[in-house]
Amino acid sequence: MAIRVGQWATGNVGKNALRSIISHPALELVGLVVSDPAKVGKDAAEICGLDTPTGIIATDDGAALIALKPDCVSFCSAGTSGREGVTTGDRQSGAADQMCTLLRAGINIVSTAIIPLVHPGSADRDIVRRLEDACREGGTTCFTSGLDPGFMHDILPLTLSGVTRRIDSIRVSEVMSYGIWDKPDAITGKFGFGKSIDLVPPIAQPGVLDIMWGSVVRLIAEQLGIKLDRTEEFHELHPAPETFTIPAGTIEKGTSAGIRFEVRGMVGDRAVVVVEHVTRLRVEDAPHWPKGPIGMGGGYRVQIKGDPDWTMEIGNPGYADPTIPGTLATALRIVNAIPVVCAARPGVVTPFDLPHITGKGLVR
């Protein structure tokens, strides 16, 4: 019998999750909640770009979805970042309220909404307490994941750590060229591209990097039995060598055209666990920074220094826009987790509380 699933929110990730639920042989879409009035009343297929209608009509009424009694909801509401990528407590609390209502009603949740919940020990204690209480009351499970933060920082590096004799450090890097991304609010807003390199962009404001990626630094350390003394944030900007135009607008010479940042898990004065992002507008910018995996414009790299050293590179050359597979994979990580989450013990869980999440049933 198929697992009955609802989709909550259809932004970039939610739309991919919706499409993946519809196509998954073990899942049955039973309801859809949207926040955009223009989407209300539309068939789920139309919203996610499929040709064959599903008969599932979008609503903005969460209670209507609860009344359908799905086994699980894929919850992709924007719960962590504000308009320019600055984390807001109100957004987290509001998303947590909605999640608690679902959990208390006996509905499991897979979510990308509140990013620090990838490591519950890094999340707001009150939110974790509320979610745990709701899980206990409803006999339900709540799992938050994605790709970055998420899969690239938990299962992959920790699995690779299992073939080492000694670990000196672990570094997980995203190396991406975002110039083709036609999202001015993110390009000039969150990342501050096209702005003065003397300005600190919203994504690098004190505390923001730690909220977004400190959770996975602490998760890796916890799983390896490392007691961190602290986490540190670092960022640097790269100026445009000349004026050029991208879909999001014109970048003037000397303004920011690249950002590299790190969240470092420190033991004494040594960075033992590092999450790094190298974000350029063009592949050729900042040539002294790390290049994309396998010679591509975008992808991920896991590096373990120790005995022996290991480097694992992951990328997808099939997309002109290297951000597309990452958004899709963020959705697939939670959709493919639905069967094991529905079978798991009640509570707020991480991948290490669950059986291995695989693509079971997806071979055509």
- 110 vs 120: CA distance, rounded Å: 14
Among 272, 265, 249, 235, CA closest to 185: 249
* 125 & 253 share domain: no
* 281 & 164 share domain: yes
Q: How many CB atoms lie within 10 A of CB 66?
A: 19
> Is 227 a residue whose pLDDT tops 90?
yes
Q: 9: which 2 tokens?
A: 């929110």
Q: How confident is the model at residue 231 (pLDDT cuts 50, 70, 90)?
A: very high
CATH code (residue 140)? 3.40.50.720
* 233 & 105 share domain: no
3-state secondary structure of 361: coil
* 345 & 254 share domain: no
Q: How many CB atoms lie within 10 A of CB 230?
A: 9
- Whether 157 is in a domain gets the answer yes
3-state secondary structure of 64: helix
* 292 & 168 share domain: yes
Beta partners for 31?
6
pLDDT, mean of residues 67-92: 73
- 213 vs 281: CA distance, rounded Å: 21
> Is 57 a residue whose pLDDT tops 50?
yes
* 303 & 176 share domain: yes
- Whether 44 is in a domain gets the answer yes
Q: Identify whether the C-beta of residue 40 lies closer than 8 Å to the C-beta of residue 58.
A: yes
- 297 vs 286: CA distance, rounded Å: 13
* 169 & 139 share domain: no
Q: 227: which 2 tokens?
A: 């007691």
- Whether 191 is in a domain gets the answer yes
Q: How confident is the model at residue 26 (pLDDT cuts 50, 70, 90)?
A: very high
Q: Identify whether the C-beta of residue 124 lies closer than 8 Å to the C-beta of residue 186.
A: no
* 226 & 272 share domain: yes
Domain count, the chain: 2
Q: How far is CA 266 from CA 108, 168, 184, 272, in A?
A: 36, 12, 35, 6
* 88 & 106 share domain: yes
- 333 vs 313: CA distance, rounded Å: 19
- 317 vs 282: CA distance, rounded Å: 16
Against a cut of 0.75, is the pTM above it? yes
Q: How confident is the model at residue 83 (pLDDT cuts 50, 70, 90)?
A: very low
- Whether 329 is in a domain gets the answer no
Residue whose entry in the numeric block shows the structure tokens 């509001």: 94
Q: Identify whether the C-beta of residue 227 lies closer than 8 Å to the C-beta of residue 267.
A: yes
pLDDT, mean of residues 95-124: 96
What does the pLDDT look like over 260-287, one tens digit per residue? Answer: 999 999 999 999 999 999 999 999 999 9
pLDDT, mean of residues 350-362: 93
Q: How confident is the model at residue 79 (pLDDT cuts 50, 70, 90)?
A: low
* 156 & 108 share domain: no
Beta partners for 280?
177, 258
- 18 vs 39: CA distance, rounded Å: 14
* The CA-based dihedral angle spanning residues 313, 158, 266, 165, taken in that order and rounded to the nearest 10 degrees: -100
* 236 & 127 share domain: no
Q: Is the dihedral of CA 307, 294, 318, 236 positive or negative?
A: positive
Q: Which domain holds residue 73?
A: 3-145+337-353
Q: Identify whether the C-beta of residue 147 lies closer than 8 Å to the C-beta of residue 138.
A: no
- Whether 101 is in a domain gets the answer yes
* 66 & 208 share domain: no
Least confident range from 26-30, 88-92, 202-206, 260-264: namely: 88-92
Q: 363: which 2 tokens?
A: 């071979």
Q: How confident is the model at residue 93 (pLDDT cuts 50, 70, 90)?
A: confident
